[in-house]
Chain A
Amino acid sequence: MTPPPLHNQEREFTLGRYILRRLLSVIPTLIGVTLVIFLFQRLIPGDPAVAMLGERATEENVARIREQFGLDRPPFLDRDALAEGDLAGFFDSQYTRYFSRLIRLDLGESIHRRIPVAETLRERFPATLELSLFSMFIALLIGIPFGIASASRRNSTLDGITMVSSLIGVSMPIFWLGIMLIMLFAVLLQWLPSGGRLSTGIEIQSITNLLLLDSLITWNIPGFLDALQHIILPGIALATIPAAIITRMTRSSMLDVLQEDYIRTASAKGLSERIVLFRHALKNAFLPVITIIGIQVGILLAGAVLTETIFSWPGIGKWVYDSILGRDYPIVQGVTLLIAIIFLLVNLVVDLSYALLDPRISYD
């Protein structure tokens, strides 16, 4: 069943071709995503112009805003124009206008605030990225060791405690946990700040907008410590679910692998438990775990509305949520597209990492 092993050079060639093919396949997927988003947004009732102008909106202003943002055009194709033989008019729709801007890498402007979407995205996405990476770091730090320990001491007290805690972790409402964390660490103990990314008055020179990284690059230790203090509580709150999922996945995957013959052989030939676990079992048990980690990273990056709201974290989650309510189409479109790209890239990385872990996997 297994294909014959390829020579290294040949293997790299195939891999390169595979990556190229995958990247190319991203394009039709993204076009599909833009179509779906466009369709769904316009199925929601409620006019962006009315949403922006509010209770005092006048007909003229509503009409003007609609015209400025092309909302007076049909969403996809204008059949009336075709009937009149106006071919250009037929194709002049909200979608085609959006798409032609997109090709020029222009995400458009927010309807409410008239600020380019890309500009706000550059500011807000790093906040989400930083929080996601930090949470994933915590989740891995907890999930993998406990998963392994639990599997190797199956049915022990440790295993029991780990499994119960992970069950709690998966089912804990983030909202409640967040409030509890703030109450304990910010109000009662006063160890950590209650929210935000940085204290007022602390400045970090912006390079990547990842504050922890920027403060280290510019060797701004007070800035680094302040940013670190701010990210701990939201990081923990956001890490709970992925940590619990990773623990359970690592455990079950390890349990499967530990029953394999080659593990028994390894133990039988006198290798220490540590070497058997870490060198022989872990690598093989990791495949499904990597998949789960990939999905979780994607989910985290898509923005954690609740965590960002409770901890006043200026990321994309709360922003896109408010934009959906305010019918700010360009923002919703921009963010959704970005999230789609992230998911596609994370998937690609996950698939590629399989090959590193398991040489039997090939990419024809």
Chain B
Amino acid sequence: MYKKFYLKVFALLIAATIMLAACAPQATPEPPEMEETEEPVMEETEEEAMPEETEEAEETEEPEMEETEAETEEAGDDVFIFGRGADSVRLDPALVTDGESFRVTGQVLEPLYQYELGSTVPIPALAEECTPNDDATVWTCSLRQGVKFHDGTDFNADAVVFNYERWRFTDNPYHYESQVFEYYEYMWGGFDDASVISAVTALDEYTVEFTLTDPLAPFLANLAMDMFAISSPAAIEAAGEDYGLPSVGAVGTGPFKFVSWQEGTEIVIEANQDYWGGPPKVSQVVFRVIPDDSARFLALQAGDIHGLEQAVVEDLQTAEEAEDLYVLTRPALNTGYLAFNYKIEEFNDPRVREAVDLALDKEGLVENFYGDYGEVSTNFLPPLIWGHNEALEDRGFNAERARELLAEAGFPDGLSEVTIAEDLTDVDGNVLFAAGEKVPLRLYYMPVTRFYYPSPEEIGTAMAANLFAAGIEAELYLEGDWPTYLDARRNGTLVGLYMLGWGGDNGDPDNFLGYFFSGSTEPQAREGWYQNVELAEMLQEAAITPDRAERQAMYEEAEQMLYDDVARIWIAHNNTPLIFSDRIDGYGAQPVGADYFEFVEFVD
């Protein structure tokens, strides 16, 4: 009896599934009438007219099929959907440090300069030109005229002054106590009087003058950073502390306007038809959050999204072979390295450091873990950045020579235990490792994947195996999760060899070499207690030298010094792959700064 009942239930379930499937949108729908799509999209979002919009669709169409049509109409063929692993933190670029926030703000807001498509060269954006005085302490910028913010207010010198003063002055009414303007402090030397920019003045409606306390060589490169994009003063005044939150979004002058942000789900932006550089080619861009790498790739295969960043190796291979997908690479502006903690006695002997370098098979590591996208690094600076020293060559992989060097340094039986040179304490002053203490040699691997280390644990394991073959017995060590790891690195308590890397912020060599080593007149806890006075002084000098050729020579020299010292072991630069549907063309993957979305178009 009851069997029939279940059969019925099942029949119903199956029928329901099939019905739903019938209404499901197809991934590659027939080209819909485009004329209809373009105009309503533009207007509908001016006001929050979304609910009415849906109701309209409901009224005009017949019940069963309306879902499909409504969808094709709205998320039509000129809506570019990009899949990414995480949501933006906030859409006020001055307050955030995560790439996913800049990916969006870079489309909505613009700085005075921007980076040329596909390179790290700063070119004018909202400024038409910025020219320095003789000693490069005063920069005069003439601004682009006739540009309007998305809220209709004018972009002018006052707007630039408003933004820079908000970032700089801690007592500015829009520089809230709860907000951390991390990048302003980091790029411009500090707030208030500590700021390298000592004044920003509007000379007339379209001319701004920046006065610096000292010459700052990377001035234009800094100006072009996403964090220093100009927001509408009116929008900041209206939103106050909430500017950049999901309910407010961002208001700038960029090629796209902010439309909506559903936290953890998606951010929608639409074409700014009045953009000074000409309107973008797609009507909307949707940034959709798909946290899982495999699921994101499947969404691309299913046609639910049109492009993505970050995929597992297997999926990359599939994409390379697939006919309807292609892989684009973002030129590397990053370096993965293995650092020494100089509070370890043994590491103060350059022969030991060189032995570690020789023991590592970097080509093998790159081949196995980075595939075609990685390249062995010989410099800290990636080849894309000027100042990269072409003359330097990898010492090569030579376990025999490594053993010899170790023997010369007094370790004929290899190295498995190391000695702490000085007391190492935590923040509260408790001694974690005492001077003279013997500890097993550790190789700290990163608990998270970063583009410069695609699979840190596996790479760490391979490195440990390499080292073992040369008589260096390193214990693979997990220090905890990412915040713990960074904390320990900052305090210089990763006692051994540790993996880390760097991704550039503005394409200037100072952002690599200067940030890491210009403080090393003293042993720096954050940099494994490395000290190199000569190098530090030269880097400080390079940062204020206006002449680019002179600077370039200094950075090349700095790379040579780091190489001669075997200060650190540079492992690899990784070009990050992005995957797109073959219906998409024109995505501008940037080595630095936000990607260009304005040239994206559908080619079918």
Asked if A222 and B70 make an inter-chain contact with CB atoms under 8 angstroms apart, the answer reads: yes
Asked if B289 and A312 make an inter-chain contact with CB atoms under 8 angstroms apart, the answer reads: yes
Closest chain B residue to A325, Cβ basis: B481
Compute how far the CA of A123 lies from the CA of B245 in the bound complex, rounded to whole angstroms.
15
Closest chain B residue to A124, Cβ basis: B264
Closest chain B residue to A110, Cβ basis: B89
Would you call A314 an interface residue if the criterion is a C-beta within 8 Å of the partner chain's C-beta atoms? yes
Known contacts A202-B54, A222-B57, A318 near B291 by CB under 8 Å? yes
Asked if A190 and B302 make an inter-chain contact with CB atoms under 8 angstroms apart, the answer reads: yes
Would you call B304 an interface residue if the criterion is a C-beta within 8 Å of the partner chain's C-beta atoms? yes
Would you call A161 an interface residue if the criterion is a C-beta within 8 Å of the partner chain's C-beta atoms? no
* CB of B465 to closest CB in A, whole Å: 28
* CB of B362 to closest CB in A, whole Å: 23
* CB of A142 to closest CB in B, whole Å: 9
Known contacts A182-B302, A191-B21, A226-B67, A200 near B6 by CB under 8 Å? no
**Bitwise interface map of B from 53 to 67 toward A, beta carbon under 8 Å scored 1, else 0:** 111011000010011
Interface residues of A in 266-288 (CB under 8 A from B): 272-274, 277-278
Asked if B1 and A273 make an inter-chain contact with CB atoms under 8 angstroms apart, the answer reads: yes
Contact partners of B90 in chain A: CB under 8 A: 113
Known contacts A113-B89, A195-B304, A309 near B291 by CB under 8 Å? yes
Would you call B23 an interface residue if the criterion is a C-beta within 8 Å of the partner chain's C-beta atoms? yes
Contact partners of A278 in chain B: CB under 8 A: 2
* CB of B92 to closest CB in A, whole Å: 11
Asked if A193 and B304 make an inter-chain contact with CB atoms under 8 angstroms apart, the answer reads: yes
Contact partners of B50 in chain A: CB under 8 A: 203
Known contacts A187-B301, A200-B75, A61 near B291 by CB under 8 Å? no
Asked if B303 and A61 make an inter-chain contact with CB atoms under 8 angstroms apart, the answer reads: no
* CB of A328 to closest CB in B, whole Å: 10
* CB of B525 to closest CB in A, whole Å: 11
Would you call A145 an interface residue if the criterion is a C-beta within 8 Å of the partner chain's C-beta atoms? yes
Q: Which of B208-216, B484-492, B535-543 contacts A (4 or more CB under 8 A)?
A: B484-492
* CB of A346 to closest CB in B, whole Å: 25
Contact partners of A187 in chain B: CB under 8 A: 298, 301-302
Would you call A89 an interface residue if the criterion is a C-beta within 8 Å of the partner chain's C-beta atoms? no
Q: Which of B177-185, B586-594, B595-603 contacts A (4 or more CB under 8 A)?
A: B177-185
Contact partners of A148 in chain B: CB under 8 A: 2
Would you call A221 an interface residue if the criterion is a C-beta within 8 Å of the partner chain's C-beta atoms? yes
Compute how far the CA of A48 lies from the CA of B183 in the bound complex, rounded to whole angstroms.
19
* CB of A321 to closest CB in B, whole Å: 10
Interface size on A, residues (CB 8 A): 74
Would you call A170 an interface residue if the criterion is a C-beta within 8 Å of the partner chain's C-beta atoms? no
Closest chain B residue to A68, Cβ basis: B178
Asked if A194 and B295 make an inter-chain contact with CB atoms under 8 angstroms apart, the answer reads: yes
Compute how far the CA of A50 lies from the CA of B180 in the bound complex, rounded to whole angstroms.
12
Known contacts A54-B486, A199-B71, A325-B482, A220 near B97 by CB under 8 Å? no
Contact partners of B484 in chain A: CB under 8 A: 44-46
Q: Which of B24-32, B106-114, B131-139 contacts A (4 or more CB under 8 A)?
A: B24-32
Contact partners of A114 in chain B: CB under 8 A: 178-179, 245
Asked if B79 and A200 make an inter-chain contact with CB atoms under 8 angstroms apart, the answer reads: yes
Would you call B430 an interface residue if the criterion is a C-beta within 8 Å of the partner chain's C-beta atoms? no
* CB of A325 to closest CB in B, whole Å: 6
Known contacts A112-B89, A141-B9, A314-B263, A220 near B54 by CB under 8 Å? yes
* CB of B207 to closest CB in A, whole Å: 32
Interface residues of B in 128-187 (CB under 8 A from A): 177-180, 182-183, 185-186
Known contacts A51-B483, A68-B177, A113-B90, A178 near B67 by CB under 8 Å? no
Asked if A196 and B1 make an inter-chain contact with CB atoms under 8 angstroms apart, the answer reads: no
Partner of B298, one of A58, A149, A182, A273: A182
Asked if B71 and A149 make an inter-chain contact with CB atoms under 8 angstroms apart, the answer reads: no
Compute how far the CA of A277 lies from the CA of B1 in the bound complex, rounded to whole angstroms.
11
* CB of A42 to closest CB in B, whole Å: 13
Closest chain B residue to A224, Cβ basis: B67
Closest chain A residue to B241, Cβ basis: A114
Partner of A200, one of B2, B74, B490: B74
* CB of B510 to closest CB in A, whole Å: 14
Partner of B490, one of A57, A226, A310: A57
Partner of B486, one of A50, A221, A318: A50
Interface residues of B in 397-454 (CB under 8 A from A): none
Would you call A192 an interface residue if the criterion is a C-beta within 8 Å of the partner chain's C-beta atoms? yes
Would you call A47 an interface residue if the criterion is a C-beta within 8 Å of the partner chain's C-beta atoms? yes
Compute how far the CA of A273 lies from the CA of B5 in the bound complex, rounded to whole angstroms.
14
Known contacts A182-B298, A186-B299, A222-B54, A200 near B266 by CB under 8 Å? yes
Would you call A120 an interface residue if the criterion is a C-beta within 8 Å of the partner chain's C-beta atoms? yes
Partner of B6, one of A44, A50, A145, A197: A145
Contact partners of B58 in chain A: CB under 8 A: 220-222
**Bitwise interface map of A from 323 to 361 toward B, beta carbon under 8 Å scored 1, else 0:** 001110000000000000000000000000000000000
Partner of B302, one of A44, A112, A186, A205: A186
Asked if A201 and B304 make an inter-chain contact with CB atoms under 8 angstroms apart, the answer reads: no
Asked if A199 and B286 make an inter-chain contact with CB atoms under 8 angstroms apart, the answer reads: no
Would you call B203 an interface residue if the criterion is a C-beta within 8 Å of the partner chain's C-beta atoms? no
Would you call B20 an interface residue if the criterion is a C-beta within 8 Å of the partner chain's C-beta atoms? yes
Compute how far the CA of A58 lies from the CA of B20 in the bound complex, rounded to whole angstroms.
54
Closest chain B residue to A178, Cβ basis: B295
Asked if B186 and A56 make an inter-chain contact with CB atoms under 8 angstroms apart, the answer reads: yes
Partner of B295, one of A189, A274, A312, A327: A312
Would you call B268 an interface residue if the criterion is a C-beta within 8 Å of the partner chain's C-beta atoms? yes
Would you call B118 an interface residue if the criterion is a C-beta within 8 Å of the partner chain's C-beta atoms? no
Interface residues of B in 282-322 (CB under 8 A from A): 286, 288-292, 294-295, 298-299, 301-304
Given A56-B97, A190-B27, 12 more A-B residue pairs with CB atoms under 8 Å apart are A46-B483, A47-B487, A54-B486, A58-B182, A141-B9, A186-B298, A190-B302, A200-B288, A201-B70, A226-B71, A277-B2, A278-B2
Q: List 12 A-B contacts (CB under 8 A).
A: A46-B480, A46-B487, A53-B97, A58-B182, A65-B180, A114-B245, A115-B246, A145-B5, A194-B302, A222-B58, A222-B67, A309-B295
Closest 10 CB pairs of A and B: A201-B74, A46-B483, A191-B21, A51-B483, A314-B264, A46-B484, A194-B299, A186-B302, A222-B67, A201-B75
